[in-house]
Amino acid sequence: MSWKSRSVLATSAAVVLGGAGVLAVAQAATPPAPAPAPVPTVTATVDPQAAQLSRTVSDLLAQIDRLEAAIVASDQAAVLPASTPVVPAPAAAPAPAPASAPAPAPAPAPAAAAVPAAPPVAAPTDDDHGDDTDEADDEHEEGDDD
């Protein structure tokens, strides 16, 4: 180690030790914080009306707790009804019917669940502009004085 390195280390150590000493002296010289004054205690007189209100509030809070528990129980019963059995999904899809067999006709839907069918869409024609030729003739007949 060179003499420059030793000088830097010695100077740094002196600064750190000097700062620690200054902090220790400052802390010792500072008086401790005064103890907080004791709060005078007052004997509370119980007002009968205040006691009755306190009991009423406690009863209402208990009633709220019971109602919340009933709501949670009804929500859980609605989500997972006990009478609904859990049916596992089939492991594999059924085999397709042979090609020679005709496809079964779909079962008729119940009348209550019937959805009105959409009106049939007209097949497109070659003349998809309608009566444009008649309108064009009418326009030329009215004011073609140019």
pLDDT of residue 74: 87
Instruction: Mention every residue, 6+ apart, whose C-beta is less than 8 A from residue 115.
Output: 109
From CA 22, how far away is CA 11, in angstroms rounded? 17
Distances (CA, A) of 78 to 65, 74, 87, 144: 20, 6, 18, 76
Domain boundaries, the chain: 51-79
What is the per-residue pLDDT for 57?
Answer: 95
The pLDDT of residue 11: 93
The pair of three-digit structure tokens given for residue 79, joined into one six-digit string: 């989500």
Mean pLDDT, consecutive 10-residue stretches, the chain (146 aa), reads: 88 92 82 71 74 94 94 81 56 56 57 56 61 55 55
DSSP run (H or E) holding 18: helix 3-29
Query: Which pLDDT belongs to residue 76?
Result: 83
Question: Is-above-0.75 flag for pTM?
Answer: no
Buried b (16+ CB within 10 A) or exposed e, 30-41: eeeeeeeeeeee
